[in-house]
Amino acid sequence: MLKGDGRLGHDLDPQDRAPKDACGVFGVWAPGEDVSKLTYYGLYALQHRGQESAGIAVSEGNRILVYKDMGLVAQVFDESILGTLRGHLAIGHCRYSTTGSSVWENAQPTLNSTDDGGLALAHNGNLINTAQLAEGVAPGSIRASTDTEVLTALLAKHGSRPVEDVAAELLPEVKGAYSLVWMTETTLFAARDPQGIRPLVLGRLERGWVVASETAALDIVGASFIREVEPGELLTIDERGVRSQRFAAPEPKGCLFEYVYLARPDTTIAGRGVQATRVEVGRILAREHPVDADLVIPTPESGTPAAIGYAEQSGIPYGQGLVKNSYVGRTFIQPSQTIRQLGIRLKLNPLREVIQGKRLIVVDDSIVRGNTQRAIVKMLREAGATEVHVRISSPPVSWPCFYGIDFATRAELIAGSLTVEEIRHSLGADSLGYISLEGLTRATTLPADRLCRACFTGEYPIPIEDDRVGKFVLEAQR
């Protein structure tokens, strides 16, 4: 499995970047609509899922035109560029690399020529048998180091057969997580792996259809939510409407971490609002790990919903103790050594008048390596907090993900080698409490056997078959 070896821009602490999803995907079939702008706004709503590159492919019926570049959606596209992307259907993608390095060649959508035109594809997820699939691709037809490029080449080999027939034959052989949107000159397609690990939804426009990674993207383009694309389902969308076929029996294993961190709070997954789930997680966390304190504060914005729930359940007042600089997410300018020494203060700064003399409960969504939480605890003490109690709205992240989240190897994860008490001591907190896996699962209202919880348990729902990936798993488990 090819791992990303480059990054666009720089996190303030490159050793403690937050977990990143592979990407966000969007597709629209809507004659008479400005599909490039709809796709732009859809990607804008999905920007949190990937910030390294962005791209849009469009077709007016005769040819596919792709524009993509490194950077955020608003950096890649402007009014003049979108004005050149005309057509009646489009797909879009915003990327964070989990396979293949962060370079232009690996930006999506990918494009491949076919016997009768072209095919463009965008992918959210991560495949685990890419090397095996690549054996079926003609030499020289792959130009990028991604599993998406392999899929595009295989789907483009349809000859005179309908693309949906080729897809229905190919997709059962594809292992791993994939929520796909792709297009020919005339038709939009969407598919989701049999486990449904990554989200994908279908929406209705007045004059067309939309598929997207999250319901929030439907909202921003004015599409009404119809339903989720089912695990193991392939959709074909053209002038005849939406046609559905099953290419595999569904074995639902939706990613539990979508509820913790990845999805927007205004998104709905499996009929349950993410915001409501995160607030309920906070309530459960308060019941599982109560503590006497004066104020509950979140690490903004990732810990905000759970902090609200914790305050509601505990009766301890909720407050804002940390101010976030919304414009420091990813920067293209390397911080100077002087600025780097300030560390977390570039992103967060304490409100001293709120914090001083208080016993604080600080709620965040996860601890990956621990550097950020360690810096926050130190900063709050320096601002006058008398006690700092850390509460985490996910169980300890102890295992790497092979299905589209850029978690570190097990050796790099702080919970991969330390106990909760050892982590507490490392952070310098007065106490540390993680929600239980059972509590987090209960908050989703889904049964445990319908969720992928591998990053918490090490139990992977899709067997690792590729030798190189299997070796990576074994090394990660040591």
- 449 labelled as ligand-binding? no
Do 28 and 210 form a contact (C-beta atoms < 8 A)? yes
Annotation says 23 is catalytic: yes
**Structure token pair of residue 478:** 């040591």
Q: What is the DSSP letter of 403?
A: S
CA distance 431 to 120: 51
Separate counts of helices (H) and strands (E) for the chain: 17, 23
**Structure token pair of residue 379:** 């900063």
- 455 labelled as ligand-binding? yes
CA distance 99 to 468: 13
Other CB atoms closer than 10 Å to residue 68's CB: what's the count?
A: 23
- 302 labelled as ligand-binding? yes
Alpha-carbon torsion angle 170, 174, 178, 181, nearest 10: -20
**DSSP string covering 365-397, please?**
S--SSSHHHHHHHHHHHHTT-SEEEEEESS---
- 401 labelled as ligand-binding? yes
**DSSP string covering 123-186, please?**
EEEEES-HHHHHTTSPTT---SSSHHHHHHHHHH--TTS-HHHHHHHHGGG--EEEEEEEE-SS
- 94 labelled as ligand-binding? no
Catalytic residue, candidates 23, 154, 155, 174: 23
- 21 labelled as ligand-binding? no
User: Helix or strand or coil: residue 42?
Assistant: helix
**Residue among 92, 78, 75 nearest 24 (CA):** 92
Q: Which residues of 261-285 are buried (b: 16+ CB within 10 A; e: fewer)?
A: bbbbeebbbbeeebbebbbbbbbbb
Report CA-CA distances (Å) from 241 to 137, 209, 227, 236, 406.
32, 8, 15, 8, 36
- Residue 98 phi/psi, 5-degree rounding, is -120, -25
User: Helix or strand or coil: residue 286?
Assistant: helix
CA distance 334 to 65: 34
| Annotated binding-site positions for Mg(2+) | 302, 364-365
| Annotated binding-site positions for [4Fe-4S] cluster | 255, 401, 452, 455
| Annotated binding-site positions | 255, 302, 364-365, 401, 452, 455
Which sequence positions are flagged as catalytic?
23
